[in-house]
Amino acid sequence: MEEVEIPQYFLCPISLMIMKDPVTTVTGITYDRDSIEMWLFTAEEEDVAAETTCPVTKQKLPRDIELLTPNHMLRRLIQAWCIANASNGIDRIPTPKYPLNKSHIQRLVRQVNNDQLCVEALRKIDALVIENEKNRKCLEEVGAIKAMVSFIIKNLKERKLITGLEEALRIFQLVWSPTTENEQLVKENRDLIEAILWILRSEMTKNQEVIKTHAMMVLKNVIGVSSSSLISGLNPEFFQEMVSILRKESKHHISQQATKAALQVLIDACQWGRNKQKIIESGAIFELIELELGNTEKRVSELVLCVLAHLCTLADGRAEFLKHAAGIGVVTKRTLRVSSSTDDCAIQILGSIAKCSATKEVLMEMLKVGAVSKLCMVIQASCGDYLKKKAMEILRTHSYAWSNSPCIQVYLLTRYPGQ
């Protein structure tokens, strides 16, 4: 196969690749559409107020992508050249899709509120969302999130799962960004949370795992920006539903992605009001330990131990933690084996237990399952000074109970006299 020389004007000045959809800017320079649109989007995200410039001429360049003019003549030349050089391994460029304009997307979003047109509109919007980032950004700008919120709440008001729910949840999940407008829309929206809970509780004949996974991802986004008053007022039934998602029995109804979303919701909720007590009373600690016993994914471990660390700050949380025969053992096992954030949470948990619930039986359990030796290892490992200090504090506090253990060396208890 002979080497093919590509005409210079076939190459995009940004990507330096053969242009598939050449468009000309107001500065007269032709770029591949994907490259110049990404250039404009990136510039806007970095500084909305700053002017965008043409990469080649450095002249002022409007950010409106509808001002990009398709260069049909150049595209036909490139197509013909690719066909002529097919025998040399050059692929024919595909015919580009006609770019959607904002008015067309606005019309689709308005149709979501029309009972006769909403299902088809949602399917079309869903296809656009999946296609590319440009479509998602445009949908956000024309108010797609507001339309999806209204549609999701409609399920609750009518007490039935409306056709198009899967698409509406996925559109919300993929289009969502925590803008001021979106936050104002959902941060006090109790109806939206109730609608999502109703969806999670509902029995479905098909696509149950997909729909409930999308519902949990939407809930995670909503709770992440909700007001403190809304989160503080979450009722016990809310936390019972989150805990039910963690149960092994529900795994055929829910994905690991949804499990991680539920864990993040619990972490966010722990910060406010009496939520930690509500979570403990919902039976979360037992389910968290059971979940971690069979877990092999790093991120799940980080989230589980973070929730446990929050809950073990309360006496009831520590009592529930110690009721599970594998509680101390699973936390010990994860220490120094997952990540620095997991180590931090694990030492917090062991520290809370050792400080406030250190009965003779608990201290012997810590020795038996290897927690004491792990604390010794933390002092010697490349951990943060905070963790080493905390581990040393635990060891010194209970040295009388563990002094006869071969894993406790005198030098470990005296090595850092200043701590």
Q: What is the pLDDT along the chain (419 residues), one digit of tens a residue?
A: 457 889 999 999 999 999 999 999 999 999 999 899 889 888 766 665 567 899 999 999 988 777 888 899 999 999 999 999 888 888 888 877 665 677 888 999 999 989 889 999 999 999 989 887 878 888 998 999 999 999 999 988 888 888 899 999 999 999 999 999 999 999 999 999 999 999 999 887 788 889 999 999 999 999 999 999 999 999 999 999 999 999 865 555 678 999 999 999 999 999 998 999 999 999 999 999 999 998 999 999 999 999 999 999 999 999 999 999 999 999 999 999 999 999 999 999 999 999 999 999 999 999 999 999 999 899 888 888 999 999 999 998 998 888 777 666 544 545 544 44
Would you give the distance in Å from CA 221 to the centre of its chain?
8
The values of phi and psi at residue 69, to 5°, are -100, 125
What is 161-179 written as a DSSP string? --TTHHHHHHHHHHH----
* CA 98, 99, 101, 106 torsion-angle sign: positive
Calculated CA dihedral for residues 120, 178, 154, 130, nearest 10 degrees: 20
Residues 6+ apart with CB under 8 A from 305: 292, 331, 334, 342, 345, 346, 349
Q: Which residue in 141, 148, 142 sits closest to 189, CA to CA? A: 148
Q: Determine the pLDDT at residue 415.
A: 52
* Per-residue CA distances from 180 to 133, 183, 185, 186, 394 (Å): 20, 5, 9, 10, 45
What is 3-64 written as a DSSP string? PPPPPGGGB-TTT-SB-SSEEE-TTS-EEEHHHHHHHHHHHHHH-SSSPPB-TTT--B----
Q: Determine the pLDDT at residue 54.
A: 94
Q: Determine the pLDDT at residue 408.
A: 62
Distance CA 145, CA 78 (A): 40
Distance CA 382, CA 388 (A): 9
Residues 6+ apart with CB under 8 A from 410: none
In the sheet that 30-32 helps form, which strands lie side by side, from edge to edge? 30-32, 22-24, 69-70
The one-letter code for the residue type at 287 is: E
Residues 6+ apart with CB under 8 A from 155: 161, 162, 165, 195, 198, 199
Distance CA 394, CA 351 (A): 6
**210 near 166, Cβ under 8 Å?**
yes
Residue 359 Rama label (left phi>0; alpha psi -120 to 50; beta) = beta
Q: Determine the pLDDT at residue 4.
A: 81
The one-letter code for the residue type at 95 is: T
Distance CA 128, CA 134 (A): 9
Distance CA 201, CA 207 (A): 14
Q: What pTM was computed for the model?
A: 0.78
DSSP 35: H
**166 near 151, Cβ under 8 Å?**
no
